[in-house]
Amino acid sequence: MSGAATSGVDVFELGATHEQVVFCNDSATGLRAIIALHSTALGPGLGGTRFYPYASTDDAIVDVLNLSRGMSYKNALAGLDLGGGKAVIIGDPAELKTEALLRAYGRFVQSLNGRYYTACDVGTFSVDMDHIARECDYVTGRTVAHGGAGDSSVLTAYGTFQGMRAAAEQVWGEPTLAGRTVGIAGVGKVGRHLVRHLIEDGASVVVTDVYAPSVEAIRAEYPQVTAVASTDELVASEIDVYAPCAMGGAISDEVLEVLRATIICGAANNQLAHPGIEKQIAERGILYAPDYCVNSGGVIQVADELEGFSFERAQQRARGIFDTTRQVFELAKADGITSAEAADRLAERRMREVGRLRGIHL
């Protein structure tokens, strides 16, 4: 096992606020992974492991740096005593994922001696965490059979729904989506649970997904759900709320040009395609519920596992996403800033004020 190198991306420049970036390579299993620790000011970095066929190592580096920074803000705003970290494994999990590879990866996580706790993300599941945990003490999001929290997408969707309720209250005066049309891009692990919450709340739902069986499964369970062929078609539809629940960068200039929704609130990470677009969203009169604020239910769920998992306790904490989202909107209004800036300010304030205490030696 040895370090890996890259050429086109300056890790020190892009990761100027990061504490540590670790390259993990095990040629025997095909493991090529990157672990990024953004901040441990509030505690060890917690963030999932994404297993994805990146086009290049550069793309993987950019993604892991963005995701780990997002985890610092997400964990801080969620009120957790945890910092921000993330990992990516480069490759197609359908072809590359094996017990040996996951265990090799676990040894690298173990080598960080508790500075980083891993969990599930795109391309990884609770059963994978069980394999990793055979070589590593710093794993959460494990299967229920192993005392874990199981599928964290359950509370990710629940928290996103709570954030959407807060946005609805801000725009329409009532914390409900009843009578509104919500468009969901991506009905995989999280999106399918979000559909259920919205149907139960009385909303109309339109969905799309690049993976046709996911859409078919939703339509089989909820025949009243409408499906469209593409995200382009979805964003141009007559919807009240747009919920990106797939990969990042969903809110681009091109999307904003055609988007008819009044609210953007979804579970995807890093939804804003570039800096400054949050101002364009506000100028269009669209309310943006910051992604890392509303999608923190999953990390709340897996973090609860570190105390000995209680779903009821974790769900109660995730319910607080409604109040946190409302607080973000109130600060934005009071200070005349965007909701994205308000969320950042609240997260940074907590990292600064609580993180300072860690400098007091006990």
Q: Does residue 97 have an active-site annotation?
A: no
Direct distance between the N- and C-terminal alpha carbons of the chain, in angstroms, rounded to an integer: 37
A 10 A CB-CB count for 89 gives 28
86, 97, 279, 333: the catalytic one is: 86
Task: Report how far residue 183's alpha carbon sits from residue 207's, in angstroms, rounded to the nearest whole number.
Answer: 6
β 263-264/241-244 pair status: parallel
Which among 111, 121, 127 is positioned nearest to 47, based on CA atoms? 121
| Residues annotated as catalytic (active site), given as ranges | 86
